[in-house]
Structure 1
Amino acid sequence: MTVRIEPLPGETPPLPDAGLGALTTDRGNLPLDTVDVHADVTGLVAGVEVSQGFRNPYDVPLEATYIFPLPDRAAVTRMRMEAADRVIEGALKERGAARADYDAAIASGRRAAIAEEDRPDVFTMRVGNILPGERVTVRLTLDQPLPYEDDAATFRFPLVVAPRYIPGTPLNDAQAGDGVSLDTDAVPDASRISPPVLLPGFPDPVALSLSVTIDPAGLPLDEIRSSLHVVAQDGGGDSGPTVRLQPGERLDRDFILRLGYTREDTAVASLTLTPDTPDTPDTIDVADVAEEPEQGTFTLTVLPPATGGAGRPRDVVLLLDRSGSMGGWKMVAARRAAARIVDTLTDRDRFAVMSFDHEILRPRELGAGLSPATDRNRFRAVEHLAGLDARGGTELMTPLAQGLLLLGRSGDDRDRVLVLITDGQVGNEDQILARTASALAGIRVHTVGIDRAVNTGFLGRLAMAGQGRFELVESEDRLDEAMEHIHHRVNAPLLTGLSLDWSGVDVDPETISPHRLGALFPGVPLVVSGRYRRAAADGSVTVRATSAEGTPWRQDATTSMSGSASATSIWARAHLRDLEDRYAVIGTSDLERRIVDTSLRFNVLCRFTAFVAVDSRVAAEGGPSHRVVQPVEQPSGWATEQSPPMPVMPAPMMPAYGGPPPPPRMASPMSAPSGPPMPAYGGPSRAASYDAEDLDVPDFMSGGAPLPPSPRPAPARRSRVGAAARPTPTADDLPALIKAELDGLLALAGAPGPERWRHLSDLRSRLTGLIEIARAESGPADRLTALADSLKVTDDPAEQSRLEELWTLTVQELTACTGDGGTGRRSFWKRPG
């Protein structure tokens, strides 16, 4: 087979002087010296092995920490450690137990490695007791689905964790990890997702090797395009080519292969059943296997027709990220993308445009609501977009919530669409998903990720929660191609109201992923997977839906059997991600137990489990004497003068307790924190500027409550504290009472100034009761007393100029007094003890 391989547009050649050797300093070399990635693509599934080579250049035993990315949809199913003449297979365990095993092994002088997931696409590897001059290799095995859209499949492998914006107030607690960012109430594990960044100007300290062998598996493969410079070698016979990365590429961006196929312009549906084998982890006891021999995993794929009829009028809210991390080509591409979306609107539609950093800006002439998409209004919106530059911090929560609130007021006779254009570099993903989940009903959310190292884990999760699509734009020159896809997504879907009618297949409904089927768009397949208890030989499924014209639609799926074990692990990973997203919203112990059980049964890594490999031999008496955190590359396209996504924390929000947390484990002297000093943008980080009437801040922002029926939050005198308090509150009630006051405060963040001033004055009087409880039960009495004293000035209306200062101080102090950031959940990312 001969297939041409072309570069994706907009890529630059590798640096001619990028060396492959380790970087030497007065402290020696960095521990990570090789990263090898090999993928076998078969049809629309990739099996991947990732090898990380660590070498100890010191004269004492070493522990190395590496914060690295993996594809967000990949299932990590195996880990093994190779050291000297020994190979140690990793075991998947509950995360706390795995850490205990690792720490005990390190303390006793044995070699050990542990791999933990901190985000769907961010992981931490720790390798301990590497002897002087010794090399240890850790191998991870992954199964990864290839998304297929518009006649092309995409294999994406990330190579760097980009700096992320970390909002919130720093926690007065031990840090959760070894990174450079402080843990905050909004991102309690920020120190686990913020590796130090290698200073610019150094040769490449890591040798990167990457290859992909492609077997089209009967699909008509036409072309291959790569984001990095590759060479191809013919596989011979019926097999496809092997694509290899050229030497000299750095770990500073995503590696992307796009595989172009051709297909008929007709709807196609296929059902694949994968029975469990003796090696497949079961969801029932081993003794029951003989009674249920046909249980297994199903995968349903529906390819819709490429065209459809006209849909309903649309209400479209466009959110454009203009924060500091969007500088350079990304800001240009984002402006063009937003303008192209505005140009696709018609006179039947209404729209709103918001650009945001730590403030929210809107075109002055369009007002605060949804405006008709007339020629004049579209021109004003494009004119506003053309004048935007990158600046500030990525405060995503408020604009996203306000966009959803706007669409929540639309009628049911219109399609409601929100489009978010960003690089997604935020750390509080769980918080955002939890606080917006209740407002997503009936609204489609499409995300456009612009960067060479996009936070696809978050943007994909948000798009899935909003039953929309995620589009990746890794260069400005690819924007035109990407915008053709986005145009189809913003248009009305071809099919809605999807449902499945099963015949002869006993499906477990609790295991179906995605949980909601969403809608079908041109060129975008629907992939549904889950577990079945039993399937007859003639088992089948019929897909039913409603077309854009309102007529019934159906498609019978063809059924086939498969022996690929990857189908089960890929389903397990998708199902675990669904459960983890639900945990971020409701967070119950039963759900946590279910996540752990599913992860262990199917041997797929998740955020509640970890792979740990422990050598039985003692290698270093007394444990490691030196620890190094591996610095990572500055992401490609992030200019040194460009402001990274750092938090905006003006003076009133700075914590008034304690000093900074202990420094992270030693990083290399040629590494730097993930950004320059904190920018002085002024104003509280929650502040928003508008050119027209202020919008409300919906109640669901403050803790996942449903969208309020009225446009304005309840008045302060109807405080939730009065309803929640018991006749004789005790210390057990105190955190909930403080949290209720905090929720009421956040719910009024968009209210007029006089109303907020009155609320602070009323709150001061209620603090008296909380102070009495705190004093009786050794609670935070001093802190609450100091806050009440600061709020005495609210009795004087002439002092309202201090509103923002006091409002920010009150949010900070109440947040600190809740202790756990208001979640009330176990911090499973924290290290024990």
Structure 2
Amino acid sequence: MMMNRCGLLTERKEPIPLKSIEVQLEVKDHVATVVSTLNYENKEDKPIEAVFVFPLPGDAAVCHFSAQIGKTEIVAEVKEKQEAKEEYDDALSSGQQAFLLEESEHSPDVFSLKVGSLPPGESASIRLEYVTELAVQADDGLRFCLPAVLNPRYQPQGSESSSVQVTSVPASLVPYSLSFSVQVSSPHAISKVESSCSLEPLQYLNTDQTQATVKLAAGHKFHRDIELLIYYKDAHQPTAVVEAGQASAKPGSLMGDPVVMVSLYPEFPQSVMSSLPSCGEFVLLMDRSGSMGCPLNNSMKQETRISSARDTLLLLLKSLPMGCYFNIYSFGSSFEHIFPKSVEYNEKTMNEALNKIEKMEANLGGTEILRPLQHIYSQPCIPKHPRQLFVFTDGEVGNTKAVIDLVKKNSGSHRCFSFGIGEGASSALINGMAKEGGGHAQFITGTDRMQPKVMQSLRFALQPAVEDVSVSWDLPKGVSATTLSPPIKAIFQGQRSLIYAQLTGQSSEATEGSVTVKYTLAGHPFQNQLHFDLKPAEDSGLTVHRLASRTVIRSLESEQRTQGGQQDEEVKKKVVELSVQSGVSSSLTAFIAVNKASGKAVQGPLVRRNIPTAYRGCMMSGSSFNSVVMKCSAPKFRGSSRPLVLACSVPQGKMMMGSKSGLRAPKLKGTALKLESEKLDIQPPKDPLLQLVSLQKASGFWQLDADLAAVFGKTKEEVEKSKPKSVNNEVWASILALIWLHGFKMDAKAEWELLTMKTASWIKAQKAPRVSECVEAGNTLLGCNVKKEVLGF
């Protein structure tokens, strides 16, 4: 049956030409170099043009592109995009083989590769190289993601659709294989490497364990993102790497001069970190598009992204400090808000919000994130309550750059914390919003739980904002530094800040320099200083230069989008010049390679083959569809009306699977589409931790009632009977809740720690008698042995 043969096939069921992908990852400290080799083979009897649209990390710097045909290797050049496209078309029309690699105009994490005029029976290997920084996670792991899943990007209504069509097949049916190997080296010992996929055991290459190799277990199909977490000992030590310039480049240019990359990990005083603020405006923006109805991961099918998000919002609301302000928005094709404007956080407003959160479903259609953001930013800020924006999305939008620019425009009035949920979330969108909004990005993939990652970001949001950040250099006479990185907008306790600078001039004397970052925190001045050796590191290639070039290119591109007229053309010229000089991709340039030695003019029309990319299909109960439909129909032969057979066509930004019959076709534009799902009478049991949290009052205490006793596995009478005399019921209930959390839920401490700080503060404010006796009696009742000191009072 045709439904079981998804993907683009000819009428004769001829295979797709991409056969395999080989990836080599080299990690040095916190920078990664990725070399991908894509092997193509044309088994058809006609020349073909293969088109492969694929994701890369949003902040990657693509720096090499070459093709091997037989014994001939052609290395691509970076050229202005229109010029490169014209050269590609000219090459094809004159019978030459050509290869074009370009970044999407809408999002920097989507690339398209065109392999042109591949003759019958011919093979070609494409080599693609990029460098990228590795983000530090909440548990100090460095995260690398090799995206396999390119979710269809939802195009907002009224916007132009992307010029490159995306062909999608179910993830399990991707017809090409992957091999993936990793080499890690660091000044610090490597403690472990973990992955969302099966790995072979880590192999250390030396006795001090600073070098190691690892690779994917055999038989891996490239049907899901590969997430790698690398853990070092002493990962928070500040570092600096000086890299020598390119010998062939002009001295005084970015590529010709040495470049330094400084990695700082500021440490804040404990006195500042221990005080819980009671101010801030917390605006939570939740994606309720249809794809949020997908399972969060494959091992917990019943837990959907939206159900996990509801539980997360419960924890977030219970952890907010009394006296702050908050509001909750949700969006799809339209958007809603719980309150007309942010309200003060108290018992009444918290309960009103929780009642509405319980009813949230993934039923608002597409992913129109720009309009709710515009509405949020149009609301006046509340004096002495800094705005903290939390954005939850599975990140499938086509107007990524417009969203990031809007966040940047409003960065002076808020901090933005972003969360990418599920595989295929746009790293450019999630990282870009956090970077421009002075916040922090988190990704929830594989078996990750959303709650601890979100609570980590809430801790960052509760940290006092760092102000008046300045970077200064102390260098020997004759040497000067030009900072290439955009100004630092946010510094958080324990999080890395990266700074790139170009070093000009030479000194015959001193060989050491230093960089100092000064800032104001909670009204007090602080500084962090790092001394470094000016002598360039050996064999470091041009990785740091390319990352620095990428940083400058991204800043210029953002500037170019927000300016107009003569200035606009001037900035565009700078981007193209730097991109060509550094060999690093940009939105305004493309890599072009032409095999001028290749054969005769093509006889007859070229056949276009769109290489399928994986998507995650899922059931989305109760979701309504927007009228925008993904352009995923079969391309025709050039100059011919004979179409290829496309086994499945899917709506833009939405995938839906019928419960029995596989994919269901979307209804015609303008009509609503509803999926009926069988209602199960059996409700999954409520997580005892979330049950306890849901019973807590806004100011931090618990009431002594049957529901609370049930969480402890007791009756209300048993709990009352154990209470020491003359002790308030709420104080007793609250101490029991603290003991239960410390006794039975220490593995989830990251999730409940903030809300228990409120409880401890509330108990202290009651000046309650006999607290020690209560702790002793509580331990006896619950069968625990928790010390009074660890409870926070």
> TM-score category by the smaller chain?
0.7 to 0.9
Using the alignment, how far apart are the partners of 1:645 and 1:96 within structure 2?
39
Q: Please state if 1:298 is matched with 2:260.
A: yes
Using the alignment, how far apart are the partners of 2:604 and 2:245 within structure 1?
43
> Which residue of the partner structure matches residue 330 of structure 2?
355
Look up the equivalent residue of 1:206 and give its one-letter code.
Y
Q: Which secondary structure state, in structure 2, belongs to the residue aligned with residue 164 of structure 1?
A: coil
Matches within 5 A, 1:597-608: 597-608=577-588
Look up the equivalent residue of 1:112 and give its one-letter code.
A
TM-fit CA distance, 1:527: 0.9
Q: Please state if 1:318 is matched with 2:284.
A: yes
Matches within 5 A, 1:453-602: 453-475=424-446, 477-493=448-464, 495-504=466-475, 512-513=484-485, 515-534=486-505, 536=507, 537-548=511-522, 550-560=523-533, 561-563=535-537, 564=540, 565-587=542-564, 588-602=568-582
Q: Please state if 1:272 is matched with 2:241.
A: yes
Using the alignment, how far apart are the partners of 1:189 and 1:249 within structure 2?
34
Distance 1:220 1:488, change over 3 A: farther
TM-fit CA distance, 1:621: 2.1
> Which residue of the partner structure matches residue 381 of structure 2?
409
Using the alignment, how far apart are the partners of 1:48 and 1:642 within structure 2?
39
Using the alignment, how far apart are the partners of 2:506 and 2:615 within structure 1?
48
Look up the equivalent residue of 1:575 and give its one-letter code.
V
Alpha-carbon displacement from aligned partner over 1:182-206 (angstroms, at most 9, x marks no partner): xxxx2x35232x4111257x74411
> Which residue of the partner structure matches residue 32 of structure 1?
18
Contact 2:95 2:600 (C-alpha < 8 Å) held by counterparts:
yes
Q: 1:669 pairs with 645, 651, 662, which one?
A: 645
Distance 1:640 1:379, change over 3 A: closer
Q: Which secondary structure state, in structure 1, belongs to the residue aligned with residue 377 of structure 2?
A: helix
Using the alignment, how far apart are the partners of 1:250 and 1:285 within structure 2?
41
> Which residue of the partner structure matches residue 340 of structure 2?
368
> Which residue of the partner structure matches residue 126 of structure 1?
114
Distance 1:439 1:45, change over 3 A: closer
TM-fit CA distance, 1:470: 1.0
Alpha-carbon displacement from aligned partner over 1:532-552 (angstroms, at most 9, x marks no partner): 32365333221111123x211
Using the alignment, how far apart are the partners of 1:63 and 1:624 within structure 2?
13
Q: Please state if 1:427 is matched with 2:398.
A: yes
Q: Which secondary structure state, in structure 2, belongs to the residue aligned with residue 630 of structure 1?
A: strand
Q: 2:125 pairs with 137, 140, 146, which one?
A: 137
TM-fit CA distance, 1:148: 2.0
Using the alignment, how far apart are the partners of 1:214 and 1:237 within structure 2?
12
Of the structure 1 ranges 47-56 and 625-634, higher mean CA displacement relative to structure 2 is found in: 625-634
Using the alignment, how far apart are the partners of 1:681 and 1:522 within structure 2?
50
Aligned residues: 618
Using the alignment, how far apart are the partners of 1:643 and 1:86 within structure 2?
55
Distance 1:643 1:382, change over 3 A: closer
Q: 2:175 pairs with 202, 205, 224, which one?
A: 205
Alpha-carbon displacement from aligned partner over 1:310-347 (angstroms, at most 9, x marks no partner): 35611111000000121122222222333332222111
Using the alignment, how far apart are the partners of 2:401 and 2:562 within structure 1?
8
> Which residue of the partner structure matches residue 441 of structure 1?
412
Using the alignment, how far apart are the partners of 1:281 and 1:647 within structure 2?
53
Distance 1:665 1:545, change over 3 A: farther
Of the structure 1 ranges 483-492 and 386-395, higher mean CA displacement relative to structure 2 is found in: 483-492
Using the alignment, how far apart are the partners of 1:264 and 1:42 within structure 2?
13
> Which residue of the partner structure matches residue 618 of structure 2?
639
Look up the equivalent residue of 1:439 and give its one-letter code.
N
Using the alignment, how far apart are the partners of 1:534 and 1:646 within structure 2?
60
Matches within 5 A, 1:31-180: 31-118=17-104, 119-150=107-138, 151-169=140-158
Q: Which secondary structure state, in structure 2, belongs to the residue aligned with residue 191 of structure 1?
A: coil
Q: CA RMSD in A?
A: 3.1
Contact 2:254 2:502 (C-alpha < 8 Å) held by counterparts:
no
Contact 1:55 1:134 (C-alpha < 8 Å) held by counterparts:
yes
Using the alignment, how far apart are the partners of 1:102 and 1:646 within structure 2?
38
Q: Which secondary structure state, in structure 2, belongs to the residue aligned with residue 577 of structure 1?
A: helix
Using the alignment, how far apart are the partners of 2:451 and 2:252 within structure 1?
46
Distance 1:544 1:269, change over 3 A: farther
> Which residue of the partner structure matches residue 716 of structure 1?
none
Distance 1:672 1:263, change over 3 A: same
TM-fit CA distance, 1:24: 9.1
Alpha-carbon displacement from aligned partner over 1:187-246 (angstroms, at most 9, x marks no partner): x35232x4111257x74411111121222x122322222011221351432553322223
Using the alignment, how far apart are the partners of 1:54 and 1:124 within structure 2?
15
Contact 2:54 2:613 (C-alpha < 8 Å) held by counterparts:
no
Using the alignment, how far apart are the partners of 2:481 and 2:647 within structure 1?
50
Q: Which secondary structure state, in structure 2, belongs to the residue aligned with residue 125 of structure 1?
A: strand
Distance 1:59 1:360, change over 3 A: same
Look up the equivalent residue of 2:205 and give its one-letter code.
G
Contact 1:67 1:122 (C-alpha < 8 Å) held by counterparts:
yes
> Which residue of the partner structure matches residue 796 of structure 1?
none
Using the alignment, how far apart are the partners of 1:633 and 1:487 within structure 2?
35
> Which residue of the partner structure matches residue 701 of structure 2?
none
Using the alignment, how far apart are the partners of 1:369 and 1:507 within structure 2?
50
Of the structure 1 ranges 520-529 and 376-385, higher mean CA displacement relative to structure 2 is found in: 376-385
Alpha-carbon displacement from aligned partner over 1:730-776 (angstroms, at most 9, x marks no partner): xxxxxxxxxxxxxxxxxxxxxxxxxxxxxxxxxxxxxxxxxxxxxxx
Look up the equivalent residue of 1:586 and give its one-letter code.
Q
Using the alignment, how far apart are the partners of 2:254 and 2:342 within structure 1?
56
Q: Which secondary structure state, in structure 2, belongs to the residue aligned with residue 621 of structure 1?
A: coil
Look up the equivalent residue of 2:188 and give its one-letter code.
L
Look up the equivalent residue of 2:125 and give its one-letter code.
T
Look up the equivalent residue of 1:583 and give its one-letter code.
Q
TM-fit CA distance, 1:168: 2.7
Contact 1:404 1:418 (C-alpha < 8 Å) held by counterparts:
no
TM-fit CA distance, 1:620: 4.3
Q: Please state if 1:218 is matched with 2:187.
A: yes
Using the alignment, how far apart are the partners of 1:394 and 1:335 within structure 2?
18
Structure 1 length normalisation: TM-score?
Answer: 0.69
Distance 1:22 1:670, change over 3 A: closer
TM-fit CA distance, 1:641: 5.3
Using the alignment, how far apart are the partners of 1:206 and 1:626 within structure 2?
23
Of the structure 1 ranges 525-534 and 590-599, higher mean CA displacement relative to structure 2 is found in: 525-534
Distance 1:387 1:591, change over 3 A: same
Q: 1:378 pairs with 346, 350, 363, which one?
A: 350
Look up the equivalent residue of 2:267 and give its one-letter code.
P
Gaps of 5+ in 2: 295-303, 638-642, 652-664, 673-793
Distance 1:246 1:94, change over 3 A: same
Look up the equivalent residue of 2:521 and give its one-letter code.
S
TM-fit CA distance, 1:375: 3.1
Using the alignment, how far apart are the partners of 1:385 and 1:491 within structure 2?
23
Look up the equivalent residue of 1:423 and give its one-letter code.
D
Using the alignment, how far apart are the partners of 1:104 and 1:143 within structure 2?
31
Using the alignment, how far apart are the partners of 2:632 and 2:263 within structure 1?
50
Look up the equivalent residue of 1:297 and give its one-letter code.
V
Contact 1:68 1:122 (C-alpha < 8 Å) held by counterparts:
yes
Using the alignment, how far apart are the partners of 1:22 and 1:662 within structure 2?
9
Gaps of 5+ in 1: 1-17, 170-185, 290-294, 651-659, 684-833
